[in-house]
A and B are shown apart, each in its own frame.
Chain A
Amino acid sequence: MSSNGQSDIALLMRGLREPLSIDEARWERLLRIARASGLHARLAAANLDKATTTDVVRRHLLSSARIAAYRAQMVRAELFHLTPLVTDDFPVIVLKGGAYILQGRALAEGRFVSDVDLLVPNAHLRAMESRLRAAGWQPEKLDPYDERYYRDWSHETPPMRFPGHSLEVDLHHAITPVTGSLAFDPASLFARSEPIPGTPFRALCAEDQVLHACLHCFHDGELDLRVREVVDIDGLLRTFAARGGFWDRLLARAAELGLQRPLWYGLHFARNWLDCPVPSAVPDALPAPHTLSRAAMDALVPLAMLPPDPDFPPSLHVRVARTLMRTRYHLLRMPLQLLVPHLARKTLRRLKARLDRRAEAPTEDGAP
């Protein structure tokens, strides 16, 4: 399926779960595709202390594990700084990576988190935003168009950052774009959320965490090299699988929120790629996508999401697949009458930026 060797991908997927016994040359190749897809520290989590690796392989695994540990520490620090802003007048939910870390989930080990995502009820979004500003977080400088894009069409506010902190805070009021076809009222997310012990934050309930991961993977952004999102889905499912009644609750919740399609794809790829132990009755209970969509997704998703041959630039197949998946994402995100002007505007601006850059002297940061 992928332009990369099937065996490389299979080995990567296996290496995320169990120690591998392979020679240095294979390790090098594996580390390279893992790095390209942001999975190298996950590989380290499963292999660092267990496998019979040589010194040089160990050094690279150690290096990745250390960076992941540092980044996780930065997430904890950011959430610690945010703690005083969370009072009991409205719930603040930590989404995705931040939650996995605070909840001590196994899948958090070696998982890179790039920002802190918070979900608050829409009615309190402005209040939370002003609290952040009053406490020193500053919004990214945006032009009026981007500002409006975030406010009206997106489900989050422009990213905010405390000066000197390495992570951004994204404030969400929903987990789907408000203009997208999957938009739903997020009220029940709060109603079903769970406290995170020892913190004032809350997390989505288990089923909603899975559904959010599926939504995020297949409906919220580019798919380029994002196999790690499927690894998240797999990790969550493995965490919750043994809980009594989990699968039934998951199916019921997907139906309630209208998220059966993203769930179907999440289960499909988690099973295909990672042998995720999903009882076969679960996907059978979901309405399957049309044969054509399914065939298209089966052809394109692996090309777009899996790391390609590390020795070469991505092949034409891969680039076409990535573009098609990006187009799909935009179409799902907003109706055409909004999308066309939006993309036209973005393209023009990118062209203008390129021309401006040419006019200026090229600059480059000196480091290292």
Chain B
Amino acid sequence: MTIAPEAPAYTGPIAHLSREDVEQLGRELDAIRQDVLDTRGERDAAYIHKVIKVQRSLELGSRAILLGSIFPPAFVVGTVGLSIAKILDNMEIGHNIMHGQWDWMRDPKIHSSVWEWDNASTSEGWKHSHNELHHTYTNIVGKDNDLGWGIMRVDEEQRWTPASLAQPLMNFLNMCIFEYGIAAYDLELGKMRRLKKSGRDMPEGWHEMARNTVKKIRRQAFKDYVAHPLLSMATLSGPTTLVANLTANFVRNVWTHSVIMCGHFPEGVETFELKDIPENETRGEWYVRQMLGSANISGSKFLHLMSGNLSHQIEHHIFPDLPSNRYAEIAPKVRALFDKYGLNYHSAPMPQQVASAWHKVLRLSLPNGFLESTNVRNAPKQFGKLIKAVRGDTRTRRRLLKEFEAAGAASVGKAV
């Protein structure tokens, strides 16, 4: 993509906007932000205090009920309650507090610098990889590790390799053990392995961070899989408590993974190449990248709460440090700006967004054009070619990939 000197950085969906339009849009978003800052106060503080209180009561109550989890109703109620409590802790409470959304309250217990969450990854590591990297380099391929967590092909422009075929499975496994996936990804394990292989030193502080993560994982696992089950042994409910805790962590993993996939992965959400980002990206340009690189989930108040208001991913990415309870309130204003500037406000119900995100994972696990050009009739032939592409040498593979791409383009053209 080449950039005309006067054109904004990203052509495509914003080709119709002038540089001045982009900056004006930035100013209008700034005004929305200022509006919230000016009215931030008692009502917002009461909100987070209430959510924290509800979460703690729910967790305490559920754990108490699980002490008698040998009785099936207690098992069911306790497991459901604990799952919800863990999700609230991670999403609406932990994620948002660690963003500094509540730092303005000057409450030394509810502050991004001290908050710790019920998750394998340490708040320290997560704040670095999430706040600093993901929110700064949103959807820039290769810079934003959230995009495929460094283990997936997330953009057509990334080279397809036979290993890409495994990514739906990888994504599924990552979903099941998501809290550990995040912990590994916060430590940038993949990158560190490469560093080690090439004989280079780990970055300063990495070893300490790794030690802290191991310590945290141990403490977390001991609590859920040893201490609580042991306490339940008084009523012979140890094994059921263990299963309940495993289930709650699993449910939390699947839920958070799904919500996060919906944020940036559904089909139609833009990804960016580093080379297309101007060196001095203006505030307006940064806003536009956040607007086009995020997707919302529409749904009930309960869904918004359980998603940590990441269902308002667009609003969150534009204003990551505004209190989460305000995202729903400003959403209509933000949406009006999308309409005014002719941008696509990507929002859909959760099942649709999850399906769309998985579709993208599956589509990109296959060579470009493969999915589009395959139908029931030509399937055996297509798969034969695919196997050839996996087994063949580089030249054969390159030729076949080109064929797929051409066939894909042709069939899309026909459909239109």
| Same complex origin of A and B | no
Q: Which B residues are within 8 Å of any A CB, using their own CB?
A: none
Question: Which residues from chain A sit less than 8 Å from chain B, CB to CB?
Answer: none
